[in-house]
């Protein structure tokens, strides 16, 4: 693979893999060779996570979800990326455990997972006597999920995610957390939930 042409992406954004649809590979070892991944690694060998010194210790997170992204069971993929100062310190990307009935629901479940991780990190920093100067912000690219977090009135359509709502709103009321909208093109967690174009 030394002479292989570098590739800007590890996967194609146009291809959706399925357990039941599509043609099977005649030679499954061809898929297992992962040549595209090796080409991607060759093209991004100088890329990495850069940690830089910072004087302002603030926590912020980006959470995102790709609604009904699995073509087999229509479960969403959710993810979050947590920063301390300007440095990424925690991330997660996984399929959600239940089928979301709307993009708002899947986004809010991803938001709740990010909030739980932030609460754990805040507790760890407190134990280490590291002061977090400002309230923690979670950036979400779904305006309905942002509004749902801010609105203290429960609706029948949000009853199925009521526990997640209570958890997030308690953190907001106690000034431990703030939820703000960020446009999709500035969403840092987007890369964790779906294959993207270059």
Pick the CATH number of 59-192 from 3.30.420.40, 3.40.80.10, 3.40.1550.10, 3.30.420.10: 3.30.420.10
| Mean pLDDT value across the chain | 86
User: Alpha helix (H) ranges present in the chain?
Assistant: 28-32, 35-43, 103-127, 143-150, 162-173, 190-193
pLDDT at 111: 93
pLDDT band for position 175 (50/70/90)?
A: confident
45-56 pLDDT, tens per residue?
Answer: 888 888 999 888
* pLDDT > 90? residue 83: yes
* pLDDT > 60? residue 68: yes
Length of the chain, please? 198
User: pTM for the full model?
Assistant: 0.83
pLDDT at 11: 80
The phi, psi pair for 27, rounded to 5°, reads: -115, 95
The domain spans of the chain are 1-48, 59-192
Residue written as token pair 């099977």: 24
Residue written as token pair 């199925």: 160
């Amino acid at each position: 693979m030394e002479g292989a042409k570098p590739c800007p992406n590890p996967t194609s954004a146009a291809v959706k893999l399925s357990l039941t649809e599509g043609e099977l590979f005649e030679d499954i070892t061809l898929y297992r060779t992962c040549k595209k991944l090796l080409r991607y690694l060759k093209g991004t060998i100088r890329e990495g996570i850069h940690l830089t010194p910072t004087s302002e210790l603030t926590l912020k997170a980006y959470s995102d979800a790709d609604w009904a992204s699995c073509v087999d069971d229509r479960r969403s993929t959710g993810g979050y990326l947590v920063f301390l100062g300007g440095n990424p310190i925690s991330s997660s990307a996984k399929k959600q455990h239940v089928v979301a009935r709307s993009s708002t629901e899947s986004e809010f479940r991803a938001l709740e997972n990010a909030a739980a991780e932030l609460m754990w990190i805040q507790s760890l920093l407190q134990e280490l006597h590291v002061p977090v100067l400002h309230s923690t912000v979670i950036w979400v690219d779904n305006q309905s999920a942002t509004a749902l977090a801010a609105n203290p009135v429960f609706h029948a359509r949000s009853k199925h995610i009521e526990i997640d709502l209570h958890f997030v709103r308690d953190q907001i009321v106690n000034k431990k957390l703030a939820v703000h909208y960020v446009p999709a093109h500035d969403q840092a967690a987007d890369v964790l939930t779906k294959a993207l174009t270059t």
